[in-house]
Chain A
Amino acid sequence: MPYNLLMPQLGMTMTEGSVVKWLKEPGDAVEKGELLYLVQTDKVEIEIESPCSGTLAQVLVDLGQLVPVGTVIGRVTQPGDSLEPMPRVAMNAPTAAQDSPIPSSPTSNTDVSASPNSDRPRLPSQRAKKLARELGVDVHLVPDYDGSGRIVEADVERFYEERSSVGPKSALAPAVMSSGVDKNETSSAAHKIIAAKMTASLQVVITDCPWEDNSVEREILEENGIRVARAQCTTPLEVIEACKDADALLVGWAPITDEVVRSLKRCRLLMRYGTGFDNIDLDAATRAGIAVGVNAEYCLEEVATHALALLLACHRQLSVLQDGVRNRRWDPLNIFVPFPPLSQQTVGILGFGRIGQRLAGMVRPLAKRVFVHDPLFSGREEANPNAQFVSFAQLLAESDYISIHVPLNKETHHLFGAETIARMKKGAYIINCARGEIVDEAALVVSLRQHHLAGAALDVFSKEPLPADSSLRGFPQVITTPHAAWYSTQADHRLHANPAQNIVRFFRGEAIPLLNSITALGTK
């Protein structure tokens, strides 16, 4: 049986090789395992053994002729074989997988600058596709209005405006005008377009505002197509009269009672300028399906800083010193009521909301201990590095200063009455930047007269403006500021801008922080 001698695979990368030497002549006998021919590749030279015994019958390649791996390069016959001569391997036989040279420069046969062809379809940009999808428009129907060669967002917008017959009470309304808790997929671009249609006929009524200038709120609301009316209500009746057709109320101090709430037919949102909401009947609003929002974060830093300033002023008895100097005295040791350094004193904070927390952080380095009492935090002693959580009793008994940072409600009304004040440490101070009615001013006055409390610093009062004949005015150790803790230029801006922005977001169906959760809008 004749045996084919092959150009062998010698290593992974070999694709071709040549025979450079034969160790036998055709006609010679060969033995299995005997070295027969020498192969050369681009890497090595290797001697190949004969795979069988017999006679070397034929050589089919020239010395040095490059042939692919697997080519039959010769034959060995065994006794009794007859052999039809095979053709020699042709020169320049196509080699398998000729390595193509590694390109080193760009080939020049690609048509880089294809000329714009007016028959080619105009391709939409990503943002155009997105806007079209959100508006429910087939982007492929949108014309290339500006001839730019691409369909862009502006093209989709224009197409939508021209095509749509969307009015303010369209079928889009329920999807967008949700409670604000749902998430939706629309982009700000789509929102603007939808919102413009939605808000066109909305009206906000400012029930009252201590300032004349509402330009900030107006600009934000009117830019979004919302009309603004300004009133100056002080009684429930005035509010009812002014807000009959309002979709939202922007409220200063006007009383929004249960009676007022029940009179509001269209209103869906009550928004306060400030943070407190004790002038709004929250339960009534919730029952009526009206959302209530406040300006939660516009003056956190300012109030905390003001409380700190009042605390330090009390500690250093600044108002007493000032009073002394005004009276031509110059003997601090006689003016002062003796006191230890602040680093040996305990500061107490009632209420650990965002303002209370900030104050704790500010005062922590100055005082020996910072106590906090807040019923919402009971049992979590390790929660905060700046304050130690204590009971109300301990707060009263051991604080040298108590700064009040709780809202005014049924539980906190006159919380600091005669009994509570009596349980405070002798020589302590009350600081109040929260709401006047939390402190029973008459009881405070009694305590001051008895020299139980050393003084107080108050930014808020039961009646504001503070009446001219209020006894509080008469104590040098009482510091009074005219409900000013909230102020800085930034807070002043946010006081007006935040509520307006939140009103706009609410009507666009976006999530805004609310005091209540409305699951079904009342059908009004």
Chain B
Amino acid sequence: MTSLGLAVGGSRLRISEAPTLEMYGCMVRIRLFELKLQEIYRSGAMPGFIHLYVGEEAVAAGVCQNLNQDDYVTSTHRGHGHAIAKGIPMGPAFAEIWGKPNGCNGGRGGSMHIYDPSYGFLGTNGIVAASVPLGAGAALGAQVRGTKQVAVSFFGDGAVNNCAFHEGINLAAIWKLPVVFVCENNLYATETPFAKVTLNTDVASRGPAYGIPGISVDGNDVLAVYEAAREAIKCARSGGGPTLVECKTYRPLGHFEGDPGIGYRTREEIAEWKQRDPINLIRERILADGLATTDKLAAIWSNLEAEIEAAYQYAKSGGEPDASTVEDYVYAN
């Protein structure tokens, strides 16, 4: 199968050919949001557990830049980045992760059950690989209703050996559903190295097995991600069917907050990948190309800090829910 004519790894796009500053802003927004969550979680104030998106921002930003508000996204347990990139208001998102009643789902879902249909966000998910058939299904819904919406299904390397991956992609392929499957391959599924449990570690090569294109890109190069996603989304939207896009990336933090992340990885490996922090990578190119000055970037950064602080304060102000609502919404009618 053709791979949409893209160079594997790097992008041929020039910075000026893409909405680079917007994507930069999106990545910083995600980073600050996640770090603030980490701070509050570590203080013991937050129930449950969280999986932070730090280090993978380029994928969410690069993919979602190509989506309309009514396009669909299905996500994973590491999905805050997808939610923010899709445009969900940060205050309600923060509150939801905190379990507060002013969260976007009333505090009923938490980190792994964030839904916002007004942005087409059909949920982070506690079940690995569930996002694959769900995303394909959302695309099916659009196809049945005859709209031009597309769906993006995010998942990690941990999903690709799961039967949901196989069945979801196959069905999407045979029906030419308007969906793009984006694999965030950060080399580890929880604490298991991908290479240890898979002989063929080339995730993109699985695409042709289903008769669809498979592309592999550098997941820390936001322009590469943007370009690959743009082509794949265009293909889906025009009825050309799904594409499998593998984004090679890394998470320097642990699997969840509380996982030191070094029992199963070397410090050297982590340090190496930290050198390739996606925000730093694009920042260097922005400055080198003269797209913006350091002051401008700093201003973007501090504006976003203020926004995140406001989101935090919004969440903090939520009290506790009325316990008598616990049985609401079990059934739709």
Residue of B nearest to A33 (CB): B35
The reply to whether A8 and B42 contact each other, CB–CB distance below 8 Å, is yes
Indicate if A171 sits at the interface (CB-CB under 8 A): no
Given contacts A6-B42, A6-B43, A70-B43, contact A11 B256 (CB under 8 A): yes
A51 within 8 A of partner (CB): yes
Q: How far apart are the CA atoms of A8 and B259 in the complex, in Å?
A: 12
Residues of A within 8 Å of B43, CB to CB, are 6, 8-9, 70
A51 and B39 contact, Cβ closer than 8 Å, known pairs A10-B258, A14-B258, A46-B260: yes
Contacts of B259 in A (CB 8 A): 11, 44
**B231 at the A interface (CB under 8 A):** no
B146 within 8 A of A: no
A114 within 8 A of B: no
A173 within 8 A of B: no
By a CB distance below 8 angstroms, the chain A residues around B258 are 9-12, 14, 41, 43-44, 46
**Are A45 and B42 in contact, CB atoms less than 8 angstroms apart?**
no
Question: Nearest Cβ distance between residue A508 and chain B, in whole angstroms?
Answer: 45
**B173-231 with Cβ < 8 A to chain A:** none
Q: Is the interface of B mostly helix, strand, loop or mixed?
A: loop
- A-side interface residues, number (CB < 8 Å): 16
Nearest CB of chain B from residue A362's CB, rounded to whole Å: 53
B48 within 8 A of A: yes
CB distance A47 to B260 under 8 Å?
Answer: yes
Q: B254 contacts which chain A residues (CB < 8 A)?
A: 46
* A284, CB-defined interface residue at 8 Å: no
Q: By CB atoms of chain A within 10 A, which of B44, B48, B49 has the most?
A: B44
In the bound assembly, the distance between CA atoms of A189 and B258 in angstroms comes to 66
Residues in chain A near residue B48, CB distance under 8 A? 12
* Bound form: Cα–Cα A51–B42 in Å: 11
How far is A36 from B90 in the complex, measured between Cα atoms in Å? 30
Given contacts A9-B41, A51-B39, A70-B43, A45 and B260 within 8 Å (CB-CB): yes
Beta-carbon contacts under 8 Å, B255-271 to A:
256-260, 263
User: Closest approach, in angstroms, between the C-beta of B75 and any C-beta of chain A?
Assistant: 21
Q: Is the CB of B256 within 8 A of A9?
A: no
Q: B289 CB to closest chain A CB, in angstroms?
A: 27
- Chain A, residues 38-67, CB within 8 Å of chain B (1/0): the string is 000101111100010000000000000000
Could you tell me how many residues of chain B have their Cβ less than 8 Å away from some Cβ of chain A? 15
Q: Are A12 and B49 in contact (CB under 8 A)?
A: yes
Distance in Å: Cβ of B213 to nearest Cβ of chain A = 40
A301 to B259, CA, bound (A): 79
**Residue in B closest to A47 when the chains form the complex, CB atoms:** B260
Closest Cβ of chain B: how far from A400's Cβ, in Å?
Answer: 63
B260 near A44: Cβ-Cβ < 8 Å: yes
Whole-angstrom distance between the Cβ of B124 and the nearest chain A Cβ: 17
In the complex, how many angstroms separate the beta carbon of B99 from the nearest chain A beta carbon?
13
Closest to B42 in A: A8
For residue B233, give the distance in angstroms from its CB to the closest CB of chain A: 36
A69 interface hit (Cβ, 8 Å): yes
Which of A6, A10, A45, A47 has most B Cβ within 10 Å? A10
In the complex, what residues of A have CB within 8 A of residue B256's CB?
11
Q: Within residues 1 to 53 of chain A, which ones have a CB less than 8 A from any CB in chain B? A: 6, 8-12, 14, 41, 43-47, 51
Alpha-carbon distance A11/B258, docked complex (angstroms) = 4
Smallest CB gap from A39: residue in B: B260
Please report the C-alpha to C-alpha distance between residue A6 and residue B38 in the assembled complex, in whole angstroms. 13
Q: Provide the residues of chain B in CB contact with A12, threshold 8 Å.
A: 48-49, 258
B41 proximity list for chain A (CB < 8 A): 9
A500 to B203, CA, bound (A): 84
Contact A10 B263 (CB under 8 A): no
Within 8 A of A (CB), among B11-49: 39, 41-44, 46, 48-49
Residues of chain B from 48 to 92 with CB closer than 8 A to chain A in the complex: 48-49
A14 to B39, CA, bound (A): 16
CB proximity of B26 to chain A, nearest CB, Å: 22
Q: Closest residue of chain B to A7, judged by CB? A: B44
Map CB proximity to B onto A190-226 as digits: 1 under 8 Å, 0 otherwise. 0000000000000000000000000000000000000
What's the least CB distance linking B134 to chain A, in Å? 25
A45 vs B258: C-alpha distance when bound (angstroms): 9
**B contact residues around A69 at 8 Å (CB):** 44
Residue of B nearest to A71 (CB): B44
Q: When the two chains form their complex, are residues B263 and A11 in contact, meaning their CB atoms are under 8 A apart?
A: no
Contacting residues of chain A (61-111) with chain B, CB-CB under 8 angstroms: 69-70
Residues B42 and A44 in contact, CB atoms below 8 Å apart: no
Task: Give A461-477 interface residues, CB cut-off 8 Å to B.
Answer: none
> Max chain B CB contacts within 10 Å: which of A12, A41, A70?
A12
A353 CB to nearest B CB, Å: 48
Please measure, in the bound complex, the distance between the C-alpha atom of A63 and the C-alpha atom of B254, giving whole angstroms.
24
For the complex, give the distance between the alpha carbons of A8 and B42 in Å: 5
Distance in Å: Cβ of B41 to nearest Cβ of chain A: 6
Name the residue of chain A whose CB is nearest to the CB of B254.
Answer: A46
**Cα–Cα distance between A11 and B263 once the two chains are bound (Å):** 15
Query: Which residues of B are found within 8 Å of A10, using beta-carbon distances?
Result: 42, 257-258
Bound complex: CA of A41 vs CA of B254, how far in Å? 15
CB distance from A34 to the nearest CB of B (A): 14
Most buried by B among A9, A47, A69: A9
B52 CB to closest chain A CB, in angstroms? 13
Closest to B50 in A: A12
Contact with A along B239-259 (1 / 0, CB 8 A): 000000000000000101111
Chain B residue at smallest Cβ distance from A45: B260
Chain A contact residues, CB within 8 Å of chain B: 6, 8-12, 14, 41, 43-47, 51, 69-70
* CB pairs A–B below 8 angstroms (28 shown): A6-B43, A6-B44, A8-B42, A8-B44, A9-B42, A9-B43, A9-B46, A9-B257, A9-B258, A10-B257, A10-B258, A11-B49, A11-B257, A11-B258, A12-B49, A12-B258, A14-B258, A41-B258, A43-B258, A44-B258, A44-B260, A45-B260, A46-B254, A46-B260, A47-B260, A69-B44, A70-B43, A70-B44
The 10 closest A-B pairs by CB, nearest first: A11-B258, A8-B42, A10-B258, A9-B44, A46-B260, A70-B44, A69-B44, A12-B49, A44-B260, A9-B42
**Assuming A6-B43, A44-B263, A46-B254, what are 5 further A-B pairs, CB within 8 angstroms?**
A10-B257, A44-B258, A46-B258, A46-B260, A47-B260
